């Protein structure tokens, strides 16, 4: 897996690992495999953990998936 980081909603820095899904000319793209490793709150200067982390996870993964689709 490849590791990278992404700025989410201007206030959060997300570290994640990913593998790109297949995107052939005759097929719709497959979902990318994304594993969010950590979320850092730049405003509070601390890691996001617990309930806040879990509540953000779906939206963060969706935005990263869109970002990877547009590379």
pLDDT tens readout for residues 6-32? 999 999 999 999 988 776 666 556 778
Q: Which residue has the higher pLDDT, 22 or 64?
A: 64
pTM for the full predicted model: 0.84
Check: CB of residue 12 under 8 Å from CB of residue 37: no
Q: Where are the beta strands (DSSP E) in 1-71?
A: 2-8, 12-19, 33-41, 46-47
Q: What SS3 class is residue 66?
A: helix
| Nearest to 15, CA basis, from 69, 67, 68, 64 | 64
Per-range mean pLDDT, top range of 3-7, 28-32, 67-71: 3-7
What is the per-residue pLDDT for 3? 95
CA-to-CA distance for 60 and 47, rounded, in angstroms?
15
């Amino acid at each position: 897996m490849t590791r990278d980081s992404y700025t989410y909603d201007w206030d959060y820095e997300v570290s994640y690992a990913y593998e790109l899904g297949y995107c052939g000319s005759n097929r719709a793209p497959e979902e990318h495999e994304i594993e969010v490793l950590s979320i850092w709150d730049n405003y509070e200067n601390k890691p996001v953990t617990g309930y806040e982390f879990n509540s953000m996870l779906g939206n963060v993964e969706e935005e990263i998936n869109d970002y990877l689709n547009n590379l």
